[in-house]
Amino acid sequence: MNYYNYFTEIEETFVRRRGRNLLLSPLDWALIEAWQERNVPLHIILRGIEKVFDGVDQQPSRKRSVKSLTYCREEIEAQYAEWLERQAGKPVSNASSEPSGEETYDLYSRESVSEHLDASINALKAFKESARIESIGQAIVRLEELKRNLPDDHEKTEEILTEIENFLNGELKRNTDAAHLNAVKKDAEIQLSAHKNKMEKEVYLKTLDLMILKRLREEAEIPRLSLYSL
């Protein structure tokens, strides 16, 4: 599954069910990228979105609108877990039930988030490329501060992690040799060339940027900080 189909089909399904034009947020893009990197099947994500909105449609008096793809995450993760069990030949219990609040909390418990932050800090500390030591050090300081003052709301934590990731992404680009950066960009453009005319400009540019950053992160062995990579 290429970036074009994966990102645009998720976006199109969400926007269609949302019932109005709504641009995905940076957190939504991070969530989609994490699903893509984990190889979560596209059909599971689309089915999860449809199920969530089907439930919303059955509650006409419901005042709160679905403004973010993150609202669908619990259902998608539950369906993905069931799919993995079926692939392994394990029996699936309560396959049609909704994920419980306790299960959802455990996924982003303070302990699991703290462990994730420790792993991220240790991975960045192992990064020794001299040209980027200062920027890596700044990211480590911010991660350590986040761990000391960990919010109860995991979405707030994700916002802070996204800010740190964006900082590191900018530093990666800034410190990458111009010729190599151009070569990486051309490779990504070639991969997207067959789909460019079908994509809205904003979606194309965002997808292109994600592909470039993914390649640079892999080359530099810089981990994803997002909680969605848990």
How much of the chain exceeds pLDDT 90, in percent?
A: 22
Cα 131 to Cα 118: distance, rounded to the nearest angstrom? 24
Supply the pLDDT for residue 180: 95
Cα 170 to Cα 190: distance, rounded to the nearest angstrom? 23
Domain ranges of the chain: 1-107, 109-230
Cα 96 to Cα 178: distance, rounded to the nearest angstrom? 52
Phi/psi of residue 190, nearest 5 degrees: -65, -45
- Note the pLDDT tens digit of each residue in 120-135: 999 888 876 555 667 8
Cα 36 to Cα 3: distance, rounded to the nearest angstrom? 8
Cα 164 to Cα 10: distance, rounded to the nearest angstrom? 25
Supply the pLDDT for residue 62: 59
- pTM exceeds 0.75 for this model: no
21: left (phi over 0), alpha (psi -120 to 50) or beta: beta
Angle between helix 154-175 and 133-148 (nearest 10): 170
Please list, in sequence order, all residues whose beta carbon lies within 8 angstroms of the beta carbon of residue 65, skipping any fewer than 6 positions away.
none
- The whole-number mean pLDDT for each consecutive block of 10 residues of the chain, a chain of 230 residues, reads 74 82 75 86 92 83 71 88 77 42 55 91 77 78 94 87 90 90 93 78 82 87 79
- In this structure, how many other beta carbons lie within 10 angstroms of the beta carbon of residue 136? 19
Cα 80 to Cα 177: distance, rounded to the nearest angstrom? 39
Angle at 110 between CA 39 and CA 46, to 5 degrees: 30
